[in-house]
Chains A and B, each alone.
Chain A
Amino acid sequence: MADPIVDRVKSSLGSMALNIENPRLHRIYATVPREQIVAATTALHKEFDTRYICVIGARDIGDNIELVYPFALEKEERLIVLKTLVPKSDPNIDTISKVIPGAVLYEREAFEMLGVNFRDHPQMEILFLPETWGDKGNPLRKDWTDPRKAEGGEQ
């Protein structure tokens, strides 16, 4: 069954989308290059009025960090997920909080947990970790080790 929403996503993203998948009803995954994440978000926002971002998820996949931006559509009742890769050697990406204000908190979480730097973010600071965290690393990266282990302290 062809989903008309998928075609609309395709046409609004245009050449930005490297790959569009529709594994089941209500889920549309689109991969975009990281330089165009703001452009893609803006295009979706114009087309569907994606006011609502669920979360920004990030995960460590070897040399890259994968970021996912799920947008819930209110009227169309779909979940559009934008995916992009950020290399660990240059973990910078533009913030989408200018388009979707609700993304501010989630970007900060991705920043502290996986070390992705969001350019032009209004307040790029630690969110969940304690203020005394310092440079103990990004805990959700796979190569992160508990600093307390190295010190031989109690875990």
Chain B
Amino acid sequence: MARAGYMIPMLLGKLTKKPVTVMYPYEKLEPFKDIRAKIKFDTNLCIGCGICARDCPSGACYMVDIPNPVDKKKKTPHFDLDMCTFCGQCDESCPKDAIKLTDEYELAHFKRGELIVK
């Protein structure tokens, strides 16, 4: 019993539905709980073990020659969010919970290097 216009009732039903999209900069969607977004790094907890840099799949996390506040002989990690894929592996690998993921997802910026979390 094929007939054209089988979708008309569904079409009419959708008329009363409010739009799925929102006018973004003026109206914002609430980020979900436990969303993976900008990294927050606490230097005072870091022991400079370098596991985060070893596990990072995209090379966004790397160790730099800045003495670690906790252990002066060790290095400190930097997180270049331009390269980050927000998988959260560093958060999971960190033995001291120095790395946290926040829900700050608006990361557009004007200059390169502005998004390096130190």
A and B touch in the complex (CB under 8 A): no
